[in-house]
Amino acid sequence: MERAIVHMDMHDYYIACERLANSSLKGVPLIIGGGTNRGTVAACSKEAARFGVRVSMPTAYAQRLCPNATILKGDYGSYTNKSKELTEIIKEHAPVVEKSSIHSFYLDITGMDRFFGCYDWTKELSLQISKMSGLDPSWALSVNKTVSKIGVVGTTPTMPRILKQEEVQNFLNPLPIQRLPNIGDTTFQLLSRIGIRQIGKVSEMPPVVLQKMLGKRGNLIWQHANGIDSEPVKPYSEKRAVYREHDFDMDCIDIQVIKAQLMAMVEQLAFKLRQDNLVTAKVIVKVKYNNLDTETKQSKIGYTSLDHILKKEVQLLFFKLYHRRMRLVKVGVRFSDIVSGSHQINLFEDTSEILSLYNALDSIRNKYGMNAVGTSSAFQNYRTK
């Protein structure tokens, strides 16, 4: 049976959420981003884009391009809540759902043809989402996750795309290679230097050549260029968690030592999230006193996988929690409400330099191990290893 996979995306999600909350923002140039000193643009409306405003450019520069734009810092708490609302609506109707980001989903609806057709079913679901949430989804229906994700680009809520197996290759061939997964700037430059700039050119290359050029990723990129992707839609769940605990060799009351241990655990857990393309929305801190009493505190945050955001939350929870001034025998950090996706919500506060720094640190850790590099806040812990 031919698979039927939908990629559904709420295009301009942050803009749509803001306009849903405040109708006076409709039709006006709108920029969502950090402060005008070092912040970057997280999202912009089509009205602002006409002035040259783009995502990830400095907010200050965007304001010069479009001085009449309304600039909002962004409320990622409300975006997270709306995302949960969308998730519940889709889960109620679709048999298998994977949440790939705060505003996008994969749906496996294979076999729906025997009832009333995959296309008609998805169209009806999109109308239900619009009616119940106020947001209008764009979507593409095809034979696997890769093709449907590529296919959703350029669609609108009123003009979805359906790509049957026999149409896939002709659709992919003229597209730029940057539309393929796993094609970053370095890979693009490497392929571009030998004249490979369209997906069709990649599909024509012998896979062994791509493997020699790009390593293990080469064969996967070749498969994607040929419309091949057997990865299943992974059922969505927020019950997963990652956690670390540390038992002190001697009962500890030194705040700096305790804090360094907590920060080191955050770095390790956040790195694991980014490796697995996951984000978390709940932070839990645990302490165990030397009289064996155990206490925990938790908080909800906007989906993220970045150290500095998670560290700030862990420190706040710890200092709310640790008030007895007794020695500790154990501390722990847990991140739950985990879903698939990459960090995107807190771009309102993050500069491009910070995001580049995380990429550099992760590259070093992938090559030399987790303890090869760390930040000063966790230095005490790394120094003792």
CA angle 369, 371, 372 (to 5 degrees): 70
What pLDDT, on a 0 to 100 scale, did the predictor assign at position 185?
A: 81
* pLDDT at position 289 over 60: yes
The amino acid at residue 93 is: H
Predicted local distance difference test score (pLDDT) of residue 382: 46
Q: Tell me: the pLDDT tens digits for 318-346? A: 999 988 778 999 999 999 888 766 555 44
Residues of the chain with CATH 3.30.1490.100: 242-383
Taking residue 189's Cβ as centre, other Cβ atoms within 10 Å add up to 9
Burial class (CB in 10 A: 0-12, 13-18, 19+), 238: middle
Q: Residue 299 — very low, low, confident or very high, per pLDDT cuts 50/70/90?
A: very high
Q: Is 123 exposed, middle or buried (0-12, 13-18, 19+ CB in 10 A)?
A: middle
The CATH 1.10.150.20 portion of the chain extends over 173-225
Q: What percent of the chain has pLDDT over 70?
A: 85
Q: 12 Cβ partners below 8 Å, 6+ apart? A: 43, 45, 46
The arrangement of secondary structure in 242-383, i.e. its CATH architecture, is 2-Layer Sandwich (3.30)
Whether this model's pTM surpasses 0.85: no
pLDDT at 263 over 50: yes
**pLDDT 10s digits, 141-158:** 999 999 999 999 999 999
Q: What CATH fold (topology level) applies to the domain 5-13+77-170?
A: Alpha-Beta Plaits (3.30.70)
All CATH 3.30.70.270 domain ranges in the chain, comma separated: 5-13+77-170
Region of 154 please: left (phi>0), alpha (psi -120 to 50) or beta.
Answer: left
Structure tokens at 246: 């540390």
Task: Find tokens 């050119």 and name the residue.
Answer: 201
Which pLDDT value is given to residue 342? 57
Higher pLDDT, 35 or 49: 49
Q: Which fold has domain 173-225?
A: DNA polymerase; domain 1 (1.10.150)
Residue-wise over 302-325: b if at least 16 C-beta within 10 A, else e? Answer: bbbbbbbbbbebbbebbeebbeee
Bridge-based pairing of strands 30-33 and 5-9 is unpaired
Between 36 and 136, the higher pLDDT residue: 136
Q: What is the pLDDT of residue 383?
A: 47
Read off φ and ψ for residue 167, nearest 5 degrees. -100, -10
